[in-house]
Amino acid sequence: MRTSTRTEAALHCCVVLGWAEGRPVSTATLAGLFELPAAYLNKTLQLLARGRLIESVPGVGGGFRITRRPTEVTLMDIVAVVEGRDPLFRCNEIRQHGRAASPTPPSHPCAIAAGMRRAELAYRKELAAQTLAELMAAAGPGARRRTLAALAL
Amino acid sequence: MRTSTRTEAALHCCVVLGWAEGRPVSTATLAGLFELPAAYLNKTLQLLARGRLIESVPGVGGGFRITRRPTEVTLMDIVAVVEGRDPLFRCNEIRQHGRAASPTPPSHPCAIAAGMRRAELAYRKELAAQTLAELMAAAGPGARRRTLAALAL
DNA sequence: GCTCGAGTACTCGGATACATGCTGTCCGAGTTCGCTGGG
DNA sequence: CCCAGCGAACTCGGACAGCATGTATCCGAGTACTCGAGC
């Protein structure tokens, strides 16, 4: 189990777009900031756009711009859009498949699935407790200044 | 990002082996309990054996048996053995790759990686807080009884 | 000088190949048990 | 009747294909700007 590299790119892009404060930044510019393949990064940005976290601006001078205030976007929002909303642990109810299965449908939920969901909930809760604005602040003023200077190109 | 189906099988097998209380249970028997492919399940059991959570008993009447007390095995132990010990989020330090990179090696760690690690830590902590014994108890006495009856075959 | 229009360059968007890792399967090495023959 | 030896069945263990997801790429549709001609 590993988070995809798209998540890392999406988070960094959200920080940059947050610093841009609504000004559109093109895929090519963002790709140049991180030396990532532009066409592939575009796909990740489209995911974020579908999740309504950013919106696309077509035409010359267009790109993507952030739609919400950084204080109102959590890490959970971004991760959920990129990684999907499916639970990390999917219970296949194998306890009900073979021998030793209960003859009647079980009233109690699968204890194993419940335990995994509990951990997953802690994961999601911690992600939801962190906002994009906190990430932008934690990155430091130096990174912000260098990034804005690079965007002016 | 999704946990593999091996994790679900590993957890169920650990519960069964815990109920067996040290008596070896063969791969074929465990596979029959959950209607899983025996050869594939064997691979998962080998992982658990390498992690010292269970041990193999060769020969006729052999199989796998648990090596620790269920109160001393956590969900974290099992998940770590099956899913690997690598972090969920791998930071590629893309902030240092393209333009806007700091000329000097950054003293502060990547804020994004730190945020993701924080959530991951909460996930691991919650897994480590649950023991195999608790899982066995939560599964209920009915499941335990039916499973032990199936093992007697 | 102003306005209208076509052209052009740049942007996103979806459709298309490639790679990696998980899923599933097979066959071989080793061990234990049971049977058989002899003492 | 007891014991030693052999054979067979069963077990794990690692090596081998198939498939799904993630990664990477390309080309087409659409839009805003720019330049030029006409009024």
Residue B153 reports pLDDT greater than 80: no
Buried b (16+ CB within 10 A) or exposed e, B47-67: bbeebebbeeeeeeeebbbbb
pLDDT at A107: 80
Q: How many Å lie between the alpha carbon of B32 and the closest alpha carbon of chain A?
A: 6
Q: Is B80 helix (H, G, I), strand (E, B) or coil?
A: helix
Q: How far is the CA of B152 from the C1' of C34 (A)?
A: 21
Sign of the C-alpha dihedral computed for residues B82, A126, A146 and B105 taken in this order = negative
pLDDT at A153: 66
- The pTM is what? 0.93
> Does A32 contact B99 at a Cβ distance shorter than 8 Å?
yes
Contacts of A85 in chain B (CB under 8 A): none
Nucleotides of D under 7 A from a protein CB: 9-15, 22-27, 30-33
B7 or A104, which is more confident:
B7
* Strand C-proximal protein residues, Cβ less than 7 Å: A 1, 26-29, 39, 42-43, 45-46, 49, 56-64; B 4-6, 37, 39-40, 42-43, 58-62, 84
Radius of gyration from C-alpha coordinates of chain B: 20
The per-residue pLDDT for range B23-51, each reduced to its tens digit, is: 999 999 999 999 999 999 999 999 999 99
> Does B123 contact A120 at a Cβ distance shorter than 8 Å?
yes
Using a CB–CB cutoff of 8 Å, tell me whether A118 touches chain B: yes
Contacts of B126 in chain A (CB under 8 A): 118-119, 121-123
The H or E element that residue B64 is part of is: strand B63-66
The per-residue pLDDT for range A33-89, each reduced to its tens digit, is: 999 999 999 999 999 999 999 999 998 889 999 999 999 999 999 999 999 999 999
Using a CB–CB cutoff of 8 Å, tell me whether B90 touches chain A: yes
Strands (E), chain A: 54-57, 63-66
